[in-house]
Structure 1
Amino acid sequence: MATGQQLGRSLLIKIGDGNTPEVFSNLCGLKTRSFNMSANEVDTTIPSCTNPGGPVQKTSRPGISNRTFSGSGAFVAGAAMSAFMGYVRGSTAFNAQVIVPGDGTYEGSWMVTDFEFSGDVEPNMEFSATFVAADELTFTAEV
């Protein structure tokens, strides 16, 4: 695993082209991005059978895990963005890699759950998108 501080701009999502072998291209234009790893908490608390009136210790186990990538930035037109927009408009899953510097790569099927265009009069048009895993992901640790 890499040591030292990592650049935020190196946190990337790469969209697959669907070919064999699959080629992944950076989703261009992202200025801000985040990757969230979470899991539901399943309550396993059981009051004491021998002392039901006594203190109860809360216990839990991990439930469904969730991996979410979100980003926003300048909309940069081109072949890769056109292919990506086809997935967004069609509400279809696609292969992608999320590269997390200092951690590794999360690869598999992803889908866009939220997409928005935005813009003011003078600056470039921007977009924001939220991606969630559409199937089980594979993880490859950074070496």
Structure 2
Amino acid sequence: MMAAQKGKDLLLKVDSDGLGTFTTVAGLRSRTIAFNAESVDVTHAESAGQWRELLAGAGVKSARVTGAGIFKDASSDEIVRSYVFNGTIRNWQVIVPDFGSIEGPFHIGSFELTGRHDGEVGFEMALESAGQLTFTAAT
């Protein structure tokens, strides 16, 4: 079992130029990653005991990464903003200390700006996987 980790050490990086130059998305205060796999039901009239049967490895896999925070520099602000407005799909990296990293193409599926009259402007965004992801275990 993985030992407890500091949440701030989970990093979200994006390919900022399409050439493999990864930049940390600045100011993230919270982030999550969720993996999903749809099932393909192949149950039929003669299924044992009328229990549902699933076809192994046949479902669509997806991942969703969400994050919230503040932009602390103009560079990361511009990168994310341009990807939102242009619908850009780029490679992103999610780095989980002592676990590994997930890398692959993602699309920014939602982006929200929030602000209070007595505070800073914040943002929330959700990334949707847009192709095959790779996992590399921490060494």
TM interval, shorter chain, is: 0.7 to 0.9
**Paired amino acid for 2:40:** V
Whether the 8 Å contact between 1:30 and 1:74 is mirrored in structure 2 is: yes
Q: CA 1:139 to 1:45, structure 2 compared with 1: closer, same or farther past 3 Å?
A: same
Task: Give the aligned CA root-mean-square deviation in angstroms.
Answer: 2.0
- The higher radius of gyration belongs to 1
Deviation at 1:92, TM superposition (A): 1.1
The number of equivalent residue pairs is 137
**What TM-score, normalized to structure 2?**
0.87
Q: Give 4+ residue runs of structure 1 displaced > 4 Å after superposition.
A: none
Distance 2:82 2:118 in 1: 27
Quick one: structure 1 residues 71 and 19, their matched pair in 2 at CA, closer, same or farther if it must change by over 3 Å? Answer: closer
- Bigger drift between 37-46 and 118-127 goes to 37-46
Query: 2 CA distance for matches of 1:123 and 1:94?
Result: 31
Distance apart, 1:3 and its partner CA: 4.7
> Which runs of no fewer than 5 residues in structure 1 stay unpaired?
none
Distance (Å, rounded) in 2 between the aligned partners of 1:69 and 1:105: 13
Task: Tell whether 2:129 aligns with 1:130.
Answer: no
Q: Which residue of 1 aligns with 2:44?
A: 46
Q: Does 1:99 align with 2:98?
A: no
Q: In the alignment, is the contact (CA less than 8 A) between 2:12 and 2:94 conserved in 1?
A: yes
For structure 2, which runs of at least 5 residues remain unmatched after alignment? none
**Aligned equivalent of 1:8:** 7
**Counterpart residue type for residue 4 of structure 2:** Q
Q: In the alignment, what sits opposite 1:86? A: 82
1:101 to partner: Cα distance: 2.8
